[in-house]
Chain A
């Protein structure tokens, strides 16, 4: 595709993806400064902000400790059954937070509030730290450690001054991901009845006489997210200088000695809390739930709905991602970088905010779309565009421009080159990306809750509805199905980082 056409297409795709955000800001602006001040400068907003930020800090610190420790034990020590623990430590990513929240509240009576949410979020999101840090430690050049040892540093000094320094960008990146994720989480906090921004936005929206409150809260949340994104960008730029070649040789492993048993016990305990409790709870309630009459038809309908909206969402996302990804891969430069970064912005925004903005957008601007699955698909596209862009960019590497040039020089027209060389080489990568987006759409909750046409239930919304009325037996089959679906992208991710 010639570059100007590609550029126009990419800009168009980006405009669609950023629509909700822009609309949110416009609507908030329309409310007027006085009104915004009235809404923001209240005791309630201060409380919400305090609780959201406290939750974010607690979860991030806990995830960093658990994630770095697990990564170090798995990659750099003589821990027994390292391979099995390596996979086990990544698996909690497959449990959507609202499923975990449901599993815990259905197992432990009165399990709710701040610390309950903090525990569940930590158990579900520490792999965001574990995976990159384990990859960084596995890829770090052992020669640096050997130099430190040869210069007279002991093993522990080497660990703190060299090894962990090599993993620092990965630790920072992972921790920021956890922070972003905690701030945007809706499922776990609302099931565990912890009032943070996301839950308050949903409540304010559902009360519904005057939705300005929900808008203003969303804007505050967006601003908090932007601060985190800025930090993330800085850490990524700083981290670039650490990037090295692959591993040349495995590093020498620490001998745990007497610490063996405590280390194994700690990893087993994390595994039990993160996976054992949800599994036991799901099995127990599923047995109770599956015997109810009429359940299967209900589950079938919800599964069908999930399938069709997720398919629509994945296709739309891919369609928008193609020009953006090709532009980033084929015409790198400041504009391509900007387009790429902007597409990540929407990804970092909480699903509840995207959902809310699109509801307003649908009512006021695009009424024909309102209450159709297309608005929901647009929501998915906005949220998951970067996943698809990354897949397209990765696939484009398989078809470098020099192959196009050779094909052109051999007398083939651009269209023939596209169909005989470029697309055949990219099709596998794009397919994998589409599958990933599809599976991510399946487990999405907040935007689906807000944007689904009235009366249409998906697996995620059924689980949410049944849990909020404490019908745990009815909720369990949905939870089990969702965990099954969510496990697939986790497995792919684990395979890509080379841990499984």
Chain B
């Protein structure tokens, strides 16, 4: 569906995109995840056609829309956008907003009501934007972007202006609406939770480059480098020594390796807090609790002073000061010391 190759874009001396490649399959939701200033919004604007790329090509459905000497203007690309704060046209009703991108026959054909129902706003067609809450405005913005059945929808941090409880529901509903309509979409976000819970694929961006692109669970469980590991979730990087092709030795004992050992000798291995499960024993001391309701994050200290984190669910929380043993669930990924 979307195929971007070698995109480069700079603003004066600032290089915002540095040889970016991105492919999105039809019907897929891909999140572009990165810290602020990494170039993810620039990438989106280049795909939409709001910015001209300095080099590289953008191909949509086999049609080159940006290439050397070619720049298809935004209104001929059929790529719709959902901006950060919705950006509804304040002088149009909900119906006119959603119908703005439709021709007359499609407007009469009931498409407006259809997409409004998809985002859970049937019956709101005659309201004006200022009569809607922030979350409802965002739903209308999504419906407006879906209405013309575009080959690609771009969502630019669409939930960042909303409060946390509202965000969870909205994410779920928007995900469902996109899927029900068979839409292909790119979601730009700096929120790893949002990317993991919504997207089929995640492209992690850093300093104008895409540093890893894969399925969401793959990016979380098998990050390409320690920076990504820490960016997409809570990570502990434990010093270790390669024992053989499939195992490493750590302060927690000998652990199975995920994938090939890569480097030999001294490495660091990635552990997530939920991989550690308390047992009886005296391997570590509990130093603090961080209570989250549905789970508790335990602060631990090994005998050699190494700090660790373990996530435990429900009631099985050992008290502060207790000595516990630790089971390690699953395999670990090793990184050579760079």
Contacts and interface: CB of A to CB of B under 8 A. Distances in A.
Are A and B a genuine interacting pair, yes or no? Answer: yes
Interface of A: 398, 400, 402-403, 405-414, 417, 420-421, 424-425
Interface stretch (B82-90, B173-181, B228-236): B82-90
A400 B148 contact: no
A443 to B, nearest CB: 34
B223 to A, nearest CB: 33
A425 B148 contact: no
Interface of B: 48-50, 73-81, 83, 85, 87, 89-91, 100-101, 144-145, 148, 154
Contacts of A402: 83, 85, 87
Nearest to B83: A402
A490 B53 CA distance: 50
Contacts of A409: 48-49, 74-75, 77, 79-81, 145, 154
B100 A412 contact: yes
A410 to B, nearest CB: 3
B159 to A, nearest CB: 16
A400 B144 CA distance: 18
A420 B100 CA distance: 10
A408 B75 contact: yes
A400 B88 CA distance: 11
Contacts of B89: 403, 406-407, 421, 425
B75 A405 contact: no
Given A400-B87, A410-B145, A425-B90, 7 more contacts: A402-B85, A405-B83, A406-B81, A406-B89, A407-B89, A410-B148, A411-B75
B256 to A, nearest CB: 49
A411 B101 contact: yes
A411 B83 contact: no
A330 to B, nearest CB: 13
A413 B90 contact: no
A408 to B, nearest CB: 4
Main SS class of interface, B: loop
Nearest to B99: A410
A213 B49 CA distance: 59
Contacts of B87: 400, 402-403, 406
A129 B100 CA distance: 47
Nearest to B50: A405
6 contacts: A407-B89, A408-B75, A409-B75, A409-B77, A409-B80, A411-B75
Contact of B78 (A400, A411, A413, A425): A411
A499 B77 CA distance: 49
A412 B101 contact: yes
Contacts of B77: 409
A22 to B, nearest CB: 32
Contacts of A398: 90
A398 B50 CA distance: 20
A429 to B, nearest CB: 13
A18 B85 CA distance: 40
A412 B148 CA distance: 12
A288 to B, nearest CB: 52
Contacts of B90: 398, 425
Contacts of A414: 73, 75
* 9 interchain residue pairs of minimum CB distance: A410-B101, A408-B74, A402-B87, A409-B81, A408-B75, A409-B80, A402-B83, A411-B75, A406-B87
Nearest to A405: B50
Nearest to A407: B100
A396 B101 CA distance: 23
Nearest to A425: B91
A424 B96 CA distance: 14
A356 B119 CA distance: 65
A403 B48 CA distance: 14
A424 B90 CA distance: 10
Contact of A405 (B81, B101, B144, B148): B81
A410 B103 CA distance: 11
- Residue among A402, A420, A425 with max Cβ neighbours from chain B (10 Å): A402
Contacts of A412: 75, 100-101
A407 B80 CA distance: 9
A314 B91 CA distance: 27
B75 A413 contact: yes
A407 B49 CA distance: 13
Contact of B144 (A410, A413, A420): A410
B83 A406 contact: yes
Contacts of A421: 89
- Residue among A402, A409, A420, A424 with max Cβ neighbours from chain B (10 Å): A409
B118 to A, nearest CB: 17
Nearest to A403: B87
A400 B87 CA distance: 9
Contacts of A400: 87
Contacts of B49: 408-409
A233 to B, nearest CB: 26
A397 to B, nearest CB: 12
Contacts of A406: 80-81, 83, 87, 89, 144
A415 to B, nearest CB: 10
Contacts of B85: 402
